[in-house]
Each structure stands twice: as structure tokens, then as C-alpha cells.
A and B are shown apart, each in its own frame.
Chain A
């Protein structure tokens, strides 16, 4: 995950160009009450402006150093504002993703088959976000917009034809690909979408326990039984196969697969497919419980209403980047939102005016 300077500079320049186009179209976003312009905000804005004006110069070292500094909690830093409960134990974020870009090399689908040149398609484009201990950060974006790639990048799962640049910090330590791999199941755990993530031919109990032998296995089995009791799963499901589970049980089994590793951060990738809002909120309450016990949750979803019901903060994902990362309370009124797209999202929600959202 070494940062590639030139790639990053180009993408930042592009982003600020797009942002300024948006701002032109919708009027300059106003500052919000919850986001007093602190030192970091000024630095971030200054660097953006600088990059746009002069793409060759960027204070590349600024962000990584800043991650170690303690923040005044209400202050705007790292492109985001806080929720009431956000805090920085140890003086840093649990997870900090900075300037992440993911692109794929593929043959140009528009060109004739045999003479197609290779093109690079960028799916995630200079994305930054942070998760604090004890909170749920919801990343909200349209289906199929590449949100799962964000989860893949955080878990260090890379396709052979992909190129990933940017910086990822976990618990104050900067991670490379090997570091992220080592964190799988040892600090960061995934809660996937559906029951297809369970091996159809392995009994549920063995899958929750995972790959362990001897003493370790015995310990994990014990832990699994405690967790099953705590999460209201009857003991006999241990002997079932995944196809015999109901939807709700399957979701809890997937959650237990993550919890048994005692993670500090859970990445939940669309954990409530096909549920109506009330059921989804109830399903996510298990994640809420995990966050309330001090863990961090990155909840990836396409459902803004769900995000606003359960998350502490919301990151609005669009075109491969986070355009605004803000406290849920700021969605109470459109004036509190900074970015025109977030406001468009607010207006597009059924209980709001549902009308002429600024086309941006």
C-alpha cells in the first residue's frame, strides 16, 4: 500500500475540480454549526486548493503525521466531523483510510475485441474516512458503486489486476498489504452479506469456530457456546448445515463468525439484504451492541434510512469517494450538510420534500 505520489496528486486535483464544479452549480456550501473550521480543516482545504492550482505540490506528509495527534473532539479533522460519542482512545482513530484509490486494468470494452487496448478503470477515487472506537460509521452509496471494494481494500483482499494506492491506519499503526492480511481475524473482521458466505457442506458450529486445533479449538468452541447463548441462538444449530438456517439465524451466525475472533473493528458489508427498514434496524442492533461495548463498526449500506437510524456518523459515498463524512444529527436539516450531493440525498428521502434535488 505504498502511496504513489503522482497518482494521488492527479486524483486530488480531479476531485477538487469536480467539487468546484458542483459548488458552482449549487452555490457555495456554507459552514455548519457542528463544524467549526479548525486547524485541520483549514489545512485540508488549503491543500485541496493548492493541489487544484498547482498539482505538482501537495503536502503529502501532513495527513499521516496528523493521525497520531490528539484531536479536540468537536473539531473538524481528517475531512470529518464528530458525533457526540466519537472519541480517540490512545489519541488516534481506530481505522483511518486516507486517499484510497482502487483501479483495475482491463481491456477496453468499447474497442474491437482483438485490438482492445488495456485501460485503467478507477473505481475508488481518493477516498478518506475514519472510524472511531465505540461508533458505527455508515458508508452510504448506490448499489454497485464499488462500496464492497472498500471493504476488500481494508481487509487486504486484492484482485491480481487491481492497483490500490493510499494509506490505511489501524489503531495508530500504518498498514501495508501484509499488515492488513495479518489483521484479518486478528483485529478486523468482516460480517458479510448473505448465507452464501458459509461453506454449504460444513456444519455451522465448525464454521463459527474456524480454523483452529487442539487447545485453541476447545477454547473457541467454549466461546462460541457463550456467544450463541448471548445472541439467542439455540445450541442445536451447531449441528446444522447453512441451508437449514433461517435468514435471521444465518445473519447471527455470520456475526458470530466475526465476534469469535474478538475483533476491534467490524466491517459489515450490506448485512441486511432484502429486509424492510424495521427488521434491518433490529438486525443491526447486534452491531450497535458491539459498538457500545467499545468496538468500531464500518457499516457499508445502500440504505440511507437505515444508516440514519442506527449509525453515529454517516459517510456519503459517491463516484468512488466520500463526499461528506458527518454526524448523523447533521442530517436533521439540509442546512447542516456541507456537500450539495448530501443535501440532494436528504431531499430525495421519502419523508422530506422529495423534489427538485440539485442535479449534481
Chain B
């Protein structure tokens, strides 16, 4: 996932360069409008994601029948009953045939039945996504804001104490597995200090109707913090690097020769030039936050998409897993698309090219 992210943040610069090049090139044969191209890309992404997930589930050594019925029950079953179960889980149908059947349904909007939850996949995902999105959005915003602030501070104070502290923190956190951090946080803040609940998204035993928004927020705090703490490291380090670049640029040097101090340069030129890499990072980090949420939700028994994905994966529930994979791929795609669209809004070089230059 880190690899993913790196590609994305460099991709931004490349696209800028391409856009500049494109504006100089003479007219090319007509192309599809950009939204149509994005649509084609999206369709391809969905097809590839679903097929790979299907293939991976069918290659998995987990026998869905055994996994879902349980060892004892499986041993006492008659062979006819076993065959019946295998047919229900689709274990005896060839991969391509199963995929074709699923794809035909998917095109009509029917993503199939979750065998594990015994409900339509869309329903399960919708239900889970609500709590998951709250968690991820909180962590995403926190990580972005804190990471940006720390990165700017570190870059502006390069090699001095604030920079060293921020970097030490980032390296430490980057080297720490999220699930371990989640367990430590749970141990310290929930068990030892008792500040936060031990898990779930609502008080245990409370009726769904009596759960208030405050309850939900209270249960959200610790997982969201853990999730954002790991996101901060990545964003802060990338931002720091960019701030260092900006401060070493010709225009920052020139601004200094005109009497601007370091903070004036950061304020006037740094933030402006940071907007785009920050946006790229922020939208690219969606995938990271999503990946982290799978682990964090598992540790905190938080009933979100991540936990459902683990359940589906371990239970051989192909339709649900594919559904979740598609949902997350769509989310990440939307994030990158948003970043691309925002570039055009923010950067005059991408927006207008050189078309209205006065010469």
C-alpha cells in the first residue's frame, strides 16, 4: 500500500508535466472527452478487481463448506448433505462459470447474496459502510490536518529540534504495525486507564434504538485516533520533503533576497505550492486508511467494512468479498479522480495551459 501511495504522489508531478507538454504540442486527433475516458477506466478497474478477487477466493485453500459449517458438524454430515452444501457455496462450479454468472447479475445491479450473512451483498455493505465511513473520514481528516501541520513545521525548521522530533515520531510510527498499535492503545486507554470503551460501535447490550450519537462518537474516538496516528507519519514525511524542496527552490531564494523571512516564504509561497502535493497525498492516503481500517476494526471489534472483509475472506464468501473489494476500489478511484479534478481548479498551469498567454 505504501508503494501504491508513492506512485500516486509522483504521478501528480508527472501529470502536470504531461499537461504542460500537451499544451505545446500541435493539435492531435480527437480523443474521448475526459469524463468518458475516466468512465472507461472505471469500468476496467471494476472488471479487473472483481475477477482477481474471484480468482483469489477460488484459489484459497479454505473450503467454504468446512469453514462455515464447522468441523464437528461437517464430520457428522451425510455425503448428500455435503454435496448440497457444496452446491450452495458454489464450490463445485468452475471459476469462469461462476464469475460469468456473477458478472451477469452485477451488470443488472445485483451483486449477489452474501452466503455468510445470508443477505444481499449491497445491503450488508450499505449497513457496514455507514459506521466504517464515519471512522475512516474522521481518521482521514485528522491525519491530513495533523500531518500537514507537522510536515510544514519540520520542513521549515529543517535539521533543527522540531524537525528531528517529527522525523523520529514518523519513522517510529511507520515501523509500527497498525494492529499492534491498536492493541497497545486498547490496553493503555481502555483497560488500564478506562477512558474509552473496549470495542464495538455502541454500548454492549444496549438496544439499537437507545444508542445515541454521542455513544457512537465515544466509541469512534480511539479507533479513529489509532488510524490517524499511522496516517500522520506518511503525510508528514512527504509534506516535509516538499517543504524542503520549496524552500530550496529558486523562487524561495529570490523571495528571501527581497527581504522575506523563512516564515514569510512558507506562508506566501510554501503553502501555495504545497496545496497540490498535499491534495495528492490526502486522496492517495484513502487507500491506506482503508487498509488500516481492516486491521483496526478487527482489533476494536468495530462492525465496519474492514471487519466484514475479514469475515468474508476467512469464510470463503466470494460475493461479499468481491462486493467489498469493488466498494473500496471505487472509493480509491473516486479519491484519485477528485485529486485530478482539483489540480485543474488549483493549478493555473493545468487549468488553462498557455492558451491565453499574452505574447
A interface residues with partner B (beta carbon < 8 Å): 155, 157, 160, 184-186, 189-190, 192, 194, 196-202, 210-211, 234, 236-237, 240-241, 243-246, 249, 257, 261
B interface residues with partner A (beta carbon < 8 Å): 20, 159, 249-251, 253-260, 264, 268-269, 272-273, 275, 346-349, 354, 356-359
Q: A160-B159, A185-B259 are in contact. List 19 more A-B contacts (CB 8 A).
A: A155-B257, A157-B256, A189-B258, A190-B258, A197-B253, A199-B268, A199-B272, A199-B273, A200-B251, A202-B269, A210-B259, A211-B260, A237-B358, A240-B358, A244-B356, A244-B358, A246-B357, A257-B258, A261-B258
Q: How far is the CB of B279 from chain A (nearest CB, A)?
A: 13
Would B254 and A197 count as touching, CB distance under 8 A? yes
Known A-B contacts A192-B254, A197-B254, A199-B251; the reply to A186 vs B347 at CB < 8 A is: no
- How many residue pairs bridge A and B at CB < 8 Å? 85
Q: How far is the CB of A268 from chain B (nearest CB, A)?
A: 12
Q: Which residue of B lies closest to A187 (CB)?
A: B259
Cα–Cα distance between A160 and B160 once the two chains are bound (Å): 12
Q: How far is the CB of A105 from chain B (nearest CB, A)?
A: 15
Q: How far is the CB of A274 from chain B (nearest CB, A)?
A: 16
Known A-B contacts A199-B273, A200-B273, A246-B359; the reply to A184 vs B257 at CB < 8 A is: yes
Cα–Cα distance between A197 and B264 once the two chains are bound (Å): 16
Would A185 and B273 count as touching, CB distance under 8 A? no
Complex contacts, B269 vs chain A, CB 8 Å: 199, 202
Complex contacts, B354 vs chain A, CB 8 Å: 243-244
Cα–Cα distance between A190 and B258 once the two chains are bound (Å): 7
Q: How far is the CB of A251 from chain B (nearest CB, A)?
A: 13
Cα–Cα distance between A197 and B347 once the two chains are bound (Å): 18
Complex contacts, B260 vs chain A, CB 8 Å: 185, 210-211
Would A210 and B258 count as touching, CB distance under 8 A? yes
Q: Which residue of A lies closest to B273 (CB)?
A: A201
Select which of A190, A200, A243 is within 8 A of B254 by beta carbon: A190
Ordered by A's residue number, 25 sampled pairs between the chains whose C-beta atoms are within 8 Å are: A185-B257, A185-B259, A190-B258, A194-B250, A197-B250, A197-B253, A198-B251, A199-B251, A199-B272, A200-B273, A201-B273, A201-B348, A202-B268, A210-B258, A211-B264, A211-B268, A240-B358, A241-B348, A243-B349, A243-B354, A244-B354, A244-B357, A244-B358, A246-B359, A257-B254
